[in-house]
Structures are given as structure tokens and as C-alpha cells.
Amino acid sequence: MQPQFSAKLEATSWDPKLEAEMRQTWEFERIFDFKPSNNKNRNFVMDTPPPYPSGKPWHPGALTQYTQIDMTARAARMRGLNVLYPIGIDRNGLPVEIFAERKYRVQMRKTPREEFINLCKHALDDLEAYMIGLLKTLGISGDYYNKYRTDSEEYRKLTQWSFIELWKKGLVYLANRPNNYCVDCNTTIADAEIEYEELPTFLVTNTFKVKDSKAELSVATTRPELLVACQMLVVNPADGRYRKHVGKTAIVPIYNREVPIRAHKSVDPKFGSGVVMVCSYGDYNDVMLFREFKLKEIVAVDLDGKMMAVAGKYAGVPVKDARSQVIQDLQEMGVATKVEQIQHRTPLCERSHTPIEIVPMEEYYLKQLDFKPALRKMAKRIEFHPAMHRQILLDWIDVLTTDYPISRRRYYSTEIPVWFCSKCSTPHLPKPGVYYRPWRDEAPFKKCKKCGNARFVGETRTFDTWMDSSLSPLYVTKYMKNTKFHALTYPATLRMQGKDIVRTWLYYTLLKSYQLTGREPFKHAWVGGLGQDSQGRAMRKSLGNFVDPEPIFVKYGADAFRFWGASEAGLGYDFRFSEERIAGAGKFLTKLWNTCRFISSFPVPETAELTWTDKWMLNELGKLTQECVAAYERFDVFTVATKVREFLWNVFASNYLEMAKGRAYGDGATKGEQEAAWYTLHTVVRSMLLLLAPVTPYLTDYAWRKLYGTQSVHLEAFPKPQRFDISEKVSQSIMEFNAQVWKTKRDKGLALKDPIAARIPANLKHFEKDLVRMHHITK
RNA sequence: GGGCCCGUAGUCUAGUCUGGUUAGGACGUCGCUCUCACACGGCGAAAAUCCCCGGUUCAACUCCGGGCGGGCCCA
């Protein structure tokens, strides 16, 4: 390098260790604080998913999503907006309890409630520290100073307040209904928390005698232990084989009870023998048939998943064992004529992977069916990114058939603020605005308003966790707490989340926001794809394909991980994990770094008399800038990352830089031409750093401060695009001509610095001087 | 069974809405090359019946119909 030019960056590659230093600077300067503008339109309010501490390691796909959320926040700041980017931790619910049970080797039901809650808190604090640490490592620029927790008194107060409001509006009711129940988690669960898996099970074909006849019916079932709860046999009305039996009575084996034989169109004549037993409750079709035929339910399974007394000799036996025993007994009795193993689509609890039982229980319900039309309208009003994912929500709204069961029989969740009169059982709700623990606290009433009794029993149940998290847009905009702040920030600008929780978090947020405020909680919804393993399968701890992201951050740095995440998949599409590709992103950062390093050795002129080559480059840069800023406005970081990489590497570095290099060194150029090269080089580097700042915040800020100033790049605005009248065709010709010369030299075995004779195309006349110098062209 | 999305080189993708280019780029592979920003570089090469079959059209990766395959979700 010529002595008069020396670079402001020394190392030949970006060192990820500098990220920690940069992070400390940000924290010290507090550059990400939110100051609300009195002009509502200047406030960019983000409703981001408070992560759920459920164990280590954290899902790398989720972390990718958090980096994309962060890019959007940073981009909004650079668009001059005041950005509210909350950091929350969702600390309520099942995963925490399961984690605590495992960690401290205790069982929730055998531990005093207060004690178990404290264990959960402990476990949560550990996990939370781990998670916050990772978020910071990744450069997430949220508001850590106002970090919120969904299990805080403040938050739970709001959850309880919302419940009391909904109760007052008549939207909550108690009802005894068959419910999805997990015998491991000991709680009811919502439809949204069920997953299905094909599992091996026995299909048992039993013989039922038809009363007052010699006829026998073969009945196939996967749940023979529920014979005790069988109340009917059904066949398809169109099935000629059984038409003569419809209306007659069959005898249930083992229990010798009489049940009717009926016809219903829901029966598949091709399943088993075409005769199905209906019991309380094998599946949802049973529930429907019990309702339709007004059958009397027989409760055979208790809340611990054991057979009840009504099951006779099987009483006290867990369902699964009872099933084996029953099968054996049926075989010995000659009732079971066939036992075959089949794959059966089994509903499982999403958290514990235990098969769901359907048992009747009294639970609280929040009305939702009445709101389907309003929700559908709202779903259409909210702008989805990408638009295609709106369909997930619309489909879900369409298939809802029951109201939302909101109560859970758990400990570590927000308590349902209700006391019952000990005499007449009338429910009493307290005044909102206080955090209540009815299982522990004295009732805040003197007398029952109905019977005058002075004693109350506190509700022990808690809320489903979505009852808390669905309030996030209200909580972060200080609903019920700061009217002015709320008015300036609600509805939020943007909800960002994964497509896996559209049916839960997104849906319940819309439902409750509508019920409480009558309007949509946010204007835009960004619905991201999911991170999968290298083969495109969901990443699950149970599948053993889970990647621990931490070593990756250490090895490649957060910026490489971020750039990879941004450039890997288009907005809303799933993406696969690949360390190789993260390493590839790291190479791009090296390229960016060295571009900055090289150009940092030249002075920064205020203005310049541009040559055609410079105008061409600045015009290309202008087009890129426009595209990228537009992409950021659509919350699309994929376009930014891929276009910038393409531009920087293949257009700027390969072509312009080589064309202008000699001129920048002053090689056969006038002072003015030299300065024009400097000016253009710096303009491009400046723009590169600004456009990439949201994506790779560490490297860009480090380089920015070294090259251009004292202030963080994150406090700057995006550059204004410059345009010059240079056609796309000329641009292509330049790059084609360069490639042509390179290829010719290659074919002739010449080094790049060797002279070569070449004819410069007519439309590149203006660029002749730079081209000749670059390729050492002799005439 | 239904819905949504997707099927482009070994892998990941752009392009498809608004039909016409030698189908662009990245990772990986191979060859040459340490040329004064970068060998985590440069240059080049190989590598794609654009899932299949029909239709529309002068012309289809692109539009239409029908298959097949994958993913996610619902029943």
C-alpha cells in the first residue's frame, strides 16, 4: 500500500469478540430508550412475543425470529420513528411447572402450593437470566430497563382485571362439559394445545350379542377399557348389513348392560366391522353422539387417569394397563375375536406428550363463538406480512365450535379472582385493580349477596396462560395505568410472531382486545416461518435434532448469525439450520469489513466533480437504497440482506472498485478525478453501513464510528437515494465487458496486470479511461 | 377427507402476479491464481429435462386444467 494512505481498520477480518465491547457502549449510551412522540404517527409500537422459559437450550429458530424482530425495530428507528420495543418474559403456565418438577425432583400435587410456587420462581429466574443473556448477545435492542414479566403483580392485576371486565359483560360462564384433559399435567387443555401423532395401538374386535336374537355383532374399538362407559352401538344408515338391527338392543360384554343400536351418518362403514361403540368418551365423535342422542354419560376415568369404581375389577388401574387387562380378559372369554396392531392418530398433550382423555368437568368458559364474524372482519383489516398467513387465522376462526375453556387446575399461573359462598355457592368477584390469590387470601366480602352467609371459599383454579399473554398489547401500552401513554401507543403498530402460534397468541389477542376495547390491537401482523433442522423437520428436544445456538454465536458471532437468518428464507417461509451457511454469512461480513478497511484509507471529500463511472455507481446505489428502504417498510429483511450482498460483492467490489481503484490512488488521474473516486467510494460504504445497520448492528456500528463519526450508526437515518440518468443496459454492458476481459486474459494465460488489447464497446465511451487503467488495455 | 404453502444444479434460493434474456445469486465441488482491501480473497469451470402430463399461445419456468411429491395446519 502506498504510504500516504493508511486504513482506519487494522485486522483483515471482523472479530466477533468486538461485539461485547460494542454492546457495552450501547448500554452505556442508552441509545434505544423509547420516548413517545405526541404525534401518534411517529410512534412505532411493537407487540413482540415474551419468550417462554421452558428449558435449555433455547430454540435456535426462535432466536432467529427475535433477531428479525430486532432488525425491524432498528430499521424503524432509522426511518426516524420512536420505537417502543418491549422486552417481556412469559412466566406463567405449564412448561415452567414441568421444568421445576424435573429440576427439583418434586411433584406439584404433593408439594404445598406456596412452596411449589417458590420453586417455580427459582427455576424461572435461572432460565430468565439465561434467556436475557442470549437476547443481549444477539444484539436485541429492546427496552431491558422496563422488562416485564407476566407473573408480576402488575401484570396479573391486569389479567384479573380483564377477567372481571369480561365477567361483567356476561362473556364468562361456568359449565360442565367433556373436556380435553391431560392426566399427567392434571389439567384441562385447550384444543390449540393438542397435537396429533400416529401411534401404534391395538384394534380389538369384540362380539356383542343382540338381545332376543341369535345375531351377534362384531365391534372394533381402540378403547376396550371404555366398554364400561358404552351407551350405544351405531352403524351407518346406508349400511345394508346392519339395517335389520337398528332399533334393537345389544348386550355390552363383561358388564352385561343393555344398550340401543342406532344409525348415524358419522359412522364409516369401512372402519373395522362397520359397527362402532359409543362411550363417554373415546373421542370427539362420542361427545357429539352423546349430545345428539341425549345419552347419559358414565364417567369411567378419574382425574389421575385411573379407572373408577364403576369399572368393577379394573378400578384404580391406570387406563393403559386397564386396556391390556381388558383385552386379555376379553380374549379369555372368547369375546375378542381379533386383536391387531394398527397406527392410530392419537391426540396428545402438546407439553407432556400424554394421550388426551376426554372427561366431563366444570370449567370457566369465555364466549368466542358469538364473535366469529367480528373477528373475521378484524382479521381482514389487519395487514398481514406475508399476506398468505392471514389464512391460518381465518381457517381457525372458521373451525371453532366451542367456547374457550379458560380455567386450569395448576399452581403457577394467574389465579382466577372468584370466591364462592360456602352455603349457596354463588360466585363473587372482587373489585378490579388488585392482585388476588383466592386460594390463600381472605375473601374481600362481608356477606353473600344472595343468602347473607359470611363464609366464602376461594377459587383454586388458575387461568390458561394465553389469558395472560393475550393482553401483551394492552400491557405494553400501559392500559389502565397511563391514559396518555396508552392513547399515544394503542393500537400497536406491529405484532411480530411465528406462524405456529397464530391459533393461540394471535387469535386470543384479537379476541380479548376486541371484547375489552372493541378494536384491533395492532395494524400489522408479521408472521414468520419456523426454524427446522437440516432435513426440514421440526426441531424437537425429543427428536434429538435440537441445535444449541450458543457455540454458534461464540464461533461466528451474532452478526453472522443475524445475517444468515435474514438472508436464509423469504418473509414467512420456514428455514433450515445449517452451520455451513452461517459460516458463509460470516464470509460476507469479512468482505464487508475489508471493503470498509480499504476505503477507510482515503480522505472523505465534501463534494466532487463526478465522472461517468461514479455516476453509474451512485445510480446503482440509489436503486438499491430505494429497494431496501421499501423492503424495510414492509418489514422484509430478506430482500435487504440478499440485495445488499449481491450489490456489495458482485457490483461494487468486483466492478466499480476495480475500475476506480487506480484513480483513487491518483494513478494517471487529475486531482478532481481522484477526489471523485474517493467521494463515491465513501458514499457507497456509508450507504452500505447504514442499510445493513439493522441486520448486522455490531460490525456496522464499529466501522461507522471508526470511519465517520462519534455517533452510533443506529442513531442515523437511512441514506437518501441519488439518481443519475444511466440506463440499465449500460450498467449491464460494463459488467459484461469486465467479465469478457477477465475471461480473455484467463484463456490466454495472462495475469490480470498484464496488458491486453481490447476494443471498448461504443456505449461505454464515457468509461473508457477507467476501463483502460483497470485492465491495462493497449490500443 | 379439507385448507394453506411449496416443488428451479449436491444444498439454499431469485425470477412466476405483469409469458419472450445464454434461467440470476449464494453455499459446496473442481481448476488456476497470494495482482499493492480481503486466500474467509480473485478469476474461471462443471453442475438445472425450471416435479410430471395435457391445454392456451407465434412463444410457458411463468397462465389454465389434471396428476405426483413435500411441509404445516385442521377434521
Answer whether the bond into residue A491 is a cis peptide, omega within 30°: yes
Scanning every strand, the nucleotide with its C1' closest to A593's CA turns out to be: B38
Q: Within chain A, how many helices (H) and strands (E) appear?
A: 23, 27
- Per the model's pLDDT, the better-predicted residue between A323 and A352 turns out to be A323
- For the CA of A377 and the C1' of B59, the distance in angstroms is 44
- For the CA of A687 and the C1' of B29, the distance in angstroms is 34
Scanning every strand, the nucleotide with its C1' closest to A597's CA turns out to be: B37
**pLDDT tens digit sequence for A244-261:** 899 999 999 999 999 999
**pLDDT tens digit sequence for A35-91:** 999 999 999 999 999 998 877 888 888 899 999 999 999 999 999 999 999 999 999
CATH architecture of A1-24+558-726: Orthogonal Bundle (1.10)
Cβ–Cβ under 8 Å, residues A356 and A195: no
Q: Which residue has the cell 368393577?
A: A312
Nucleic acid strand B: bases within 7 A of protein CB = 2-6, 11-14, 22, 25-28, 31, 33, 35-45, 70-75
CA-to-CA dists, residue A161 to A79, A89, A510, angstroms: 37, 20, 17
Nearest residue by alpha-carbon distance to C1' of B6:
A573
Find the mean pLDDT for residues A498-505.
88
- For the CA of A360 and the C1' of B21, the distance in angstroms is 67
Residue A279: its pLDDT value, please?
Answer: 92
Scanning every strand, the nucleotide with its C1' closest to A7's CA turns out to be: B37
- CA A645 – CA A560 distance, rounded (Å): 13
- For the CA of A565 and the C1' of B28, the distance in angstroms is 19
Scanning every strand, the nucleotide with its C1' closest to A535's CA turns out to be: B11
The length of chain A in residues reads: 779
- CA A374 – CA A380 distance, rounded (Å): 10
pLDDT bin (cut points 50, 70, 90) of residue A748 is confident
Report the range of poorest mean pLDDT among A180-184, A347-351, A373-377, A439-443: A347-351
**pLDDT tens digit sequence for A634-663:** 899 998 999 999 999 989 999 999 999 999
Residue A493: its pLDDT value, please?
Answer: 95
Nearest residue by alpha-carbon distance to C1' of B73:
A392
What 3 state SS string does A479-537 have? CCCCHHHHHHHCCEEEEEEEHHHHHHHHHHHHHHHHHHHCCCCEEEEEEECCEECCCCC
Q: Which CATH class is domain A31-64+90-164+468-528?
A: alpha beta
CA-to-CA dists, residue A499 to A158, A386, A709, angstroms: 26, 11, 41
Scanning every strand, the nucleotide with its C1' closest to A652's CA turns out to be: B37
3-state DSSP: chain A helix, strand, coil percent, rounded to 5?
Answer: 45, 20, 35
Find the mean pLDDT for residues A96-125.
90
Q: Which segments of A312-437 are extended strands (E)? A: 336-349, 357-366, 383-385, 404-405, 407-408, 419-421, 427-428
Residue A4: its pLDDT value, please?
Answer: 64
Cβ–Cβ under 8 Å, residues A460 and A438: yes
- CA A522 – CA A43 distance, rounded (Å): 13
Find the mean pLDDT for residues A189-209.
81
Cβ–Cβ under 8 Å, residues A627 and A689: no
Nearest residue by alpha-carbon distance to C1' of B42:
A654
Nearest residue by alpha-carbon distance to C1' of B26:
A584
Q: Answer whether residue A698 shows pLDDT above 90.
A: yes
- For the CA of A400 and the C1' of B3, the distance in angstroms is 14
- For the CA of A736 and the C1' of B60, the distance in angstroms is 28
Q: Answer whether residue A706 shows pLDDT above 70.
A: yes
CA neighbor of A225 nearest in space, from A182, A249, A255, A200: A255
Scanning every strand, the nucleotide with its C1' closest to A395's CA turns out to be: B3
**pLDDT tens digit sequence for A442-478:** 999 999 999 999 999 999 999 999 999 999 999 999 9
Going by the DSSP 8-state scheme, the letter that residue A714 receives in this structure is G
Q: Answer whether residue A3 shows pLDDT above 50.
A: no
Residue A165 backbone zone (phi > 0: left; psi -120 to 50: alpha; other: beta)? alpha
Residue A395: its pLDDT value, please?
Answer: 83
The single-letter code of the amino acid at A14 is: W
Nearest residue by alpha-carbon distance to C1' of B28:
A580
Residue A671: its pLDDT value, please?
Answer: 93
pLDDT bin (cut points 50, 70, 90) of residue A190 is confident
- For the CA of A189 and the C1' of B47, the distance in angstroms is 52
Going by the DSSP 8-state scheme, the letter that residue A546 receives in this structure is P
- Per the model's pLDDT, the better-predicted residue between A239 and A296 turns out to be A296
Find the mean pLDDT for residues A198-209.
87
Q: Answer whether residue A581 shows pLDDT above 50.
A: yes
- For the CA of A163 and the C1' of B55, the distance in angstroms is 59
Scanning every strand, the nucleotide with its C1' closest to A391's CA turns out to be: B4
Domain-by-domain residue ranges, chain A?
Answer: 1-24+558-726, 31-64+90-164+468-528, 188-357, 733-779
- For the CA of A299 and the C1' of B6, the distance in angstroms is 46
- For the CA of A217 and the C1' of B57, the distance in angstroms is 62
CA-to-CA dists, residue A397 to A188, A508, A530, A742, angstroms: 21, 11, 22, 60
Scanning every strand, the nucleotide with its C1' closest to A284's CA turns out to be: B75
- CA A383 – CA A406 distance, rounded (Å): 28
**pLDDT tens digit sequence for A387-439:** 888 888 888 888 888 889 899 888 999 999 999 999 999 999 999 999 999 99
Q: Answer whether residue A547 shows pLDDT above 90.
A: no
Among the CATH numbers 3.90.740.10, 3.40.50.460, 3.40.50.2300, 3.40.109.10, which is that of A188-357? 3.90.740.10
- For the CA of A500 and the C1' of B65, the distance in angstroms is 33
Nearest residue by alpha-carbon distance to C1' of B5:
A388
pLDDT bin (cut points 50, 70, 90) of residue A543 is low
β-sheet bridge partners, residue A194: A349
CA neighbor of A411 nearest in space, from A23, A151, A734: A151
- For the CA of A390 and the C1' of B7, the distance in angstroms is 22
The single-letter code of the amino acid at A142 is: G
pLDDT bin (cut points 50, 70, 90) of residue A156 is very high
Q: Is the dihedral of CA A726, A731, A733, A737 positive or negative?
A: positive
The single-letter code of the amino acid at A354 is: T
| Average pLDDT along chain A | 90
Q: Answer whether residue A1 shows pLDDT above 70.
A: no
C-alpha cell of residue A65 = 425470529
CA-to-CA dists, residue A362 to A174, A181, A302, A461, A540, angstroms: 7, 12, 14, 11, 34
Report the range of poorest mean pLDDT among A191-200, A273-282, A475-484: A191-200
- CA A776 – CA A255 distance, rounded (Å): 99
